[in-house]
Amino acid sequence: MFTGIIKKVSRVENVFQKNGSFFVEIKIPKGWKIKLGESISVNGVCSTAKKVSKNNFTVEYMPETVKKTTVGNFAKGREVNLERSLRLGDPIDGHIVQGHVDTTGKIIGVDKVKSSKVLKVEVPKEFMKFLAPKGSVSIDGTSLTIVDAKKDWFSVSLVSYTLENTNLGKIKVGEKVNIEVDALAKYIFNILKSNGYVKR
């Protein structure tokens, strides 16, 4: 369980495949002491530290995760957003993020508005029912508030802090990102569906 408040931006040191799995080595941020088996959000994907060395930690991704997220695009030098799992008593400054990516989105617009940027993100239409203006969404693990939502895209505004402390400050048109919709929206939709209030 996470909050979508990115704690560090680090970089990929190495990637490799073994026995059908995709392994990613990530540089341990300064001051972090990562334990074997610890859950860490890497660009919004809940990941388990399978190996920990002095400078790096390694995570393993199954083919299904590679298929449904952007981790297959990770390469040496890639910057990734990191967040450690929520602990009892920690403040929830963002929203509840599970680290279970629902789909990937494509950046189709990046507009600078004074000291902020507005991102326009295209997603498969079937996920738009979970995305509402002023609602929450996680993009590459970052908790954001939706500004606008249309038929197959939504927009978010990135304040200066987000631009400076996540990898979204360098995002470009055409790039793919991990999208996790608000868990509450999914639960409410399923309750309504099971009671016959919605047909899809």
Under a CB-based contact definition with an 8 Å cutoff, are residues 70 and 57 in contact?
no
pLDDT of res. 92:
86
Asked if the model's pLDDT at residue 75 lies above 70, the reply is: yes
What is the distance between the alpha carbons of residues 34 and 193, in angstroms, rounded to a whole number? 41
Point out which residues pair with 139 in neighbouring strands.
142, 179
Domains assigned to the chain = 8-84 (2.40.30.20), 103-194 (2.40.30.20)
Under a CB-based contact definition with an 8 Å cutoff, are residues 11 and 26 in contact?
yes
Asked if the model's pLDDT at residue 121 lies above 80, the reply is: yes
Q: Is 130 in a helix, a strand, or coil?
A: helix
What is the Cα 76 distance to its own chain's centre?
19
> What is the arithmetic mean of pLDDT over 26-46?
97
Question: What is the band of 134 on the pLDDT scale with cuts at 50, 70, 90?
Answer: very high
pLDDT of res. 198:
81
> What is the arithmetic mean of pLDDT over 148-159?
97
